[in-house]
Amino acid sequence: MEPNQSSTPERYTNGEYEMTKKKNFPLRIDPKLYEIIERWAQDEFRSVNAHIEFLLREAAKREGRLKENKK
pLDDT of residue 12: 59
Asked whether residue 25 is domain-assigned, the answer is: yes
Contacts of 22 (CB under 8 A, 6+ apart): 5, 6, 7, 8
28: domain range? 5-62
Mean pLDDT of successive 10-residue stretches along the chain, which has 71 residues:
48 66 92 98 97 96 84 53
Q: SS3 sequence, 18-41? A: EEEEEECCCCCCCHHHHHHHHHHH
Asked whether residue 31 is domain-assigned, the answer is: yes
One-letter identity of residue 39: R
Asked whether residue 17 is domain-assigned, the answer is: yes
Asked whether residue 28 is domain-assigned, the answer is: yes
> What CA–CA distance (Å, rounded) separates 49 from 35?
13
- Which residues in 14-32 are b (16+ Cβ under 10 Å) and which e? eeeeeeeeeeeeeeeeeee
pLDDT of residue 5: 47
What domain count does the chain have?
1
Asked whether residue 70 is domain-assigned, the answer is: no
